[in-house]
Structure 1
Amino acid sequence: MPQTRTAPTPDHTTTTTAPTPVELSLEERLTLVNAAMTLRLDEAAVAYEVNTAHIPTEPVDLGNIVTVPLTPTLQPPPHPHPTPVAALLQRAHHRLVTDGWCSGTLLDAEGARCLYGAIRAEARGDQSLESRGLEVLMDAIRRQFDDVDSVPGFNDAWNNGHIPMRMLDQAAGLADARGL
């Protein structure tokens, strides 16, 4: 005789009900949003690193960036160097900052000067002071640039005055350190 099965009858019925939503406080919602945003920012940072890993980059020389005060001043720096050559180089640097830098001529039509022109103007006819200032400037230049033969040649090799003015400022510090 064939065997027959009887379907089991459930003893009790189970019903599933959705959990009732819990009201979150503002702090709890902000914490959840903060966690979600942190996760998204971390994923974006990894994606950025992956997407830009093949792009070659060159480091930026922050010394080439000339910073100026937010409000222009035409006064000389408050603490001039106490030594004559250092003070001369500092005044020449200030003149380039205020009047402008040029290349190819001592003084252009707008009043801008080259390195040599600024030193000459600030030496006020004292040829000994002028030549000592140019010597210190050449020493400062040759510390970083080997193939320079003159201050005017160095000045005219640049498209803008950032490096020449930086070298003039470094020369003032060098002259002060040497007590000149």
Structure 2
Amino acid sequence: MGTENFRQLAAYNHWANLRLYGAALELPEEAYRRSTGVFFGSLHGTLNHLLLTDRIWLKRLTGTGEHPDRLDAILHDDRRDLLRARIAEDARLNELVESYTGADLMEPIAYQTTSGKPYRQPRQDILLHLFNHQTHHRGQAHACCSILTGSEPPSLDLLAFQRGVPAPNLG
């Protein structure tokens, strides 16, 4: 994959997050926090996990930023604060991806997992994982919205992004 592919994935990631948060903000508080059986329990738990893991990977890629060591930590209890943090992290990720050259993508990055196990992988493999992980858990969050409302949440399809379907203005 080249730099343009990763730039598109970073832009898509932000778009999909805004669409998902738009749906999350419409839910009553109790529903937003209700356990639906997904891995991180609720929509709230899943959205916090996504922010947390992006922070972990961005710290590994840049050496800067903070994150807790638990993958189920709640970074923000208030969903509006969580949204603001999500928007900031998406901007940080977009800026980072924009700065990469093809050679940067091939560069191996050394890091440790949250359990301390060392790894070394090309930056492009880390980015592929980061975006794939986002899609995986956004799918769970999307299912939460469907379960909680009984209706179809907004589409998060990459094709919808590519076709110019707008994201809500949540800023």
TM-score w.r.t. structure 1 length? Answer: 0.31
Higher relative contact order (CA 8 A, sep 6+): 2
Q: Which has the higher strand share?
A: 2
Structure with larger Rg: 1
Q: Which has the higher helix share?
A: 2
